[in-house]
Chain A
Amino acid sequence: MLVIKNLHANIEGKEILKGIDLEIKAGEVHAIMGPNGSGKSTLANVLAGNEGYEVTGGEIIFEGKNLLELDPEDRARDGVFLAFQYPVEIPGVSNATFLKTAINEVRKYHNLPELTPKEFLELMKEKSKILGMDEALISRSVNVGFSGGEKKRNEIFQLLMLNPKLALLDETDSGLDIDALKIVSNGVNIFKAKDKAVLVVTHYQRLLNYIQPDFVHVLYKGKIIKSGGKELALELEDKGYDWIKPELVESETV
């Protein structure tokens, strides 16, 4: 589904990603872990097309298309979804209006008819139940006055509503208490399917107890320095990151 080759990216002239190679197949869940500042969020944002990041090299192929040639809205319409680490507030625009517009834009792109108000409402009811969303939240302005947890829940609600192919979860677990974490993870697990893929960006192993990854990658200083199965996450939880940092590993061998 997604192939990343030797990807390099800068923020304000500073190189953050220094050659990422990664392949994600349909049906798989990948987790990217790593210490602060290793480039995890940058990777998620570059995939979604955030113009604040400059891609300086490499390629990203998504479903056979060169993703780097597409505007962010077309990437979204083709099925790339980013659950934001810091969801943005849009005052005066209700969640319902926003989602209806978004869904119908995506449908238009795929030459599908717009959802009728009734279909939309039914879809919204079904999906909001999964996330335990208060109906009042749905008629409120997008993320305005939402608690941190409510914002994250709203991201996963949007994921289920839009039902893309690839979900990028950027630190979706941060700021969630254990109950909310379970609800959000349950939402992601409902999204998971044979023809879908998930890329989880996280700091902590905690989330991965609920969303079981098939592969875990450690990102450090802009490069993937180690990949493994889900047991790698447990090992990291146990030992921290130091034991795999290349410079430390090298100095030990010396």
Chain B
Amino acid sequence: MNEIKENLENQEELSDDMKVLDELTSTEYKWGFVTEIESETAPKGLNEDVIRLISSKKNEPEWMTEWRLKAFRYWLKMEEPHWPNVNYPPIDYQDISYYSAPKQKPKLNSLDEVDPELLKTFEKLGIPLNEQKLLTGVAVDAVFDSVSVTTTFKETLKEKGVIFCSISEAIQEHPEIVKKYLGSVVPYTDNYFAALNSAVFSDGSFVFIPKGVRCPMELSTYFRINAQETGQFERTLIIAEESSYVSYLEGCTAPIRDNNQLHAAVVELVALDDAEIKYSTVQNWYPGDKDGKGGIYNFVTKRGACRGKNSKISWTQVETGSAITWKYPSCILQGDNSIGEFYSVAVTNNMQQADTGTKMIHLGKNTRSTIISKGISAGRSNNSYRGLVKIGKNAEGARNFTQCDSMLMSDQCGAHTFPYIEVENESAKVEHEATTSKVGADQIFYLNQRGIATEDTVNMIVNGFCKEVFNELPMEFAVEAQKLLAISLEGSVG
């Protein structure tokens, strides 16, 4: 009782600050739109002028503008796909503004001014205080000088010849590399959302690891806070030259809210001979309220090309957010003996819908791929795995192993598996295993009988279910991901 009373008092104290915060935020948008509409925000709608505006705002070279325009013209002829197992009202693409200057977050003086609900979530996730401040836009004290940390790491990278910057910067500074690889894995003709992204992409990351270099740190561990600024149409390009290695972390376990409902990112990876790229994602976009209102549509095209022999690309994803997820991180295994991996945990709760999986396209000889997919459905949500394993006719000795496990947490949710297998070479070996289980009353009782409370037993069972995927995540990400799962599924059983 005392605790509740205390909370109430705190909230009363906070309410004044909250008013200020509310005003700050709404003011920003109001002025942003009214006074500086010409320079800061493009008018709603999409046409060639808007694309030229985006390109000129970013001071892009002519070839880039042309590429965007070609993508746009192609997009106009395409139709939005409706084959995924998800439902949403029609999107009015002319009702979206495709360019706005980087938003200024309101500067706050202390964490006391932040939404207490958000702070509670941070606490549960165990996010360090300084990161909390950065995430919520609180001015950071001198102890944690993020600029100097960033600079130190940038220097280390530079010594090794690693380029790690925004894609806009790369277009300016390293046009020859960008020109060579951009759209080479995901051409703008690939699909509706990829075409749209190519026409209007705002920003994203660029990574180049030169020949023989093992990137000395997991990229974006220290930068992920900055990455929150990335917009609606993110574009990422990662190139690993011969015998190089990089591990890239994307996303953040902190819940991310955004006023842009539609998100259509494109990620392209290129691995040359003997190179390895490990790409880990933890995605926690706002899923909407309990009825699914206001959640983000996350329509992403992620693809990696194992161009060189003995190259390897590994995707690991933990997806807990978004109202709708449409995402198939894929590998094109061109080089002989190349390896593709996909490890995925997709959690849906309440009204969330996810249609996610992978494509493994085996072209080279003795190429190997592994797919481990764990789908967890709770509430009234719908969770689909969709995967393609294709063995080309020259892919002598190709092998695939697929394991798709679904776990149901309620009687009203759905789990679906759509595996597609196309084999054109008789020497190939393709294995597919699938299971569906319900968190069993017998499992819960067994753990209860050893003194563990029901909420904890469910976490334990779910984390055990996802273990093979969590094992693939870098350590600190894995710990956060476990906590994130617990929060996402809070109260969904018992």
Contact = CB atoms under 8 A, between A and B. Distances in A.
Chain A complexes with chain B: yes
Interface of A: 48-52, 71-73, 75-77, 81-82, 84, 87-93, 97-99, 101-103, 105-106, 109, 141, 158, 162
Interface of B: 440-443, 445-454, 456, 460-461, 463-468
Contact of B443 (A73, A90, A103): A90
30 contacts: A48-B449, A50-B445, A51-B445, A52-B445, A71-B448, A72-B448, A73-B448, A84-B446, A84-B449, A88-B442, A88-B443, A88-B446, A90-B460, A90-B461, A92-B463, A92-B465, A92-B467, A93-B460, A93-B461, A93-B463, A93-B467, A98-B447, A98-B460, A99-B450, A101-B452, A101-B460, A102-B450, A105-B452, A162-B450, A162-B451
Contacts of B441: 51-52
Nearest to A86: B442
Contact of B451 (A87, A97, A105): A105
Nearest to B461: A90
In the A-B complex, the 8 residue pairs with the closest CB atoms: A92-B464, A92-B467, A93-B464, A102-B450, A88-B446, A72-B448, A76-B451, A105-B451
A158 to B, nearest CB: 7
Contacts of A81: 449
Nearest to B471: A92
Given A71-B448, A105-B453, A90 B464 contact: yes
Nearest to A71: B448
B451 A90 contact: no
A75 B452 CA distance: 11
A106 B451 contact: yes
Contacts of A158: 450
Given A50-B445, A73-B453, A88 B440 contact: yes
Contacts of A72: 445, 448-449
Contacts of B454: 73
Nearest to B468: A92
B438 to A, nearest CB: 13
Contacts of A105: 450-453, 456
B446 A90 contact: yes
Contacts of B464: 90-93, 141
A88 B447 CA distance: 9
A81 to B, nearest CB: 8
Given A76-B451, A81-B449, A98-B450, 16 more contacts: A49-B448, A50-B445, A52-B441, A71-B453, A72-B449, A73-B454, A76-B448, A76-B449, A84-B449, A90-B443, A93-B467, A101-B460, A102-B447, A102-B451, A158-B450, A162-B451
B466 to A, nearest CB: 7
Contacts of B465: 91-92
Contact of A87 (B446, B460, B461, B467): B446
Question: Which of B445, B461, B468 counts the most chain A CB atoms within 10 A?
Answer: B445
A19 to B, nearest CB: 25
Nearest to A109: B451
Contacts of B440: 88
Contacts of B466: 92
Nearest to B453: A73
A73 B441 CA distance: 14
B456 A101 contact: yes
Nearest to A161: B450
Nearest to B440: A88
A91 B405 CA distance: 12
A253 B440 CA distance: 50
Nearest to B450: A102
A84 B449 CA distance: 10
Question: Which of B449, B460, B466 counts the most chain A CB atoms within 10 A?
Answer: B449
A26 to B, nearest CB: 21
Contacts of A73: 448-449, 451-454
Contacts of A89: 443
Nearest to A93: B464
Nearest to B374: A92
A143 B448 CA distance: 16
A76 B468 contact: no
A71 to B, nearest CB: 7
A102 B450 CA distance: 6
Question: Which of B447, B450, B465 counts the most chain A CB atoms within 10 A?
Answer: B450
B450 A76 contact: yes
B235 to A, nearest CB: 36
A64 B443 CA distance: 29
Contacts of A87: 446
A54 B445 CA distance: 15
Contacts of B452: 73, 101-102, 105
B469 to A, nearest CB: 10
A88 B440 CA distance: 10
Nearest to B467: A92
A189 B438 CA distance: 38
Nearest to A158: B450
A169 to B, nearest CB: 13
A111 to B, nearest CB: 14
A75 B453 CA distance: 11
A50 B443 CA distance: 11
Nearest to B465: A92
Contacts of A52: 441, 445
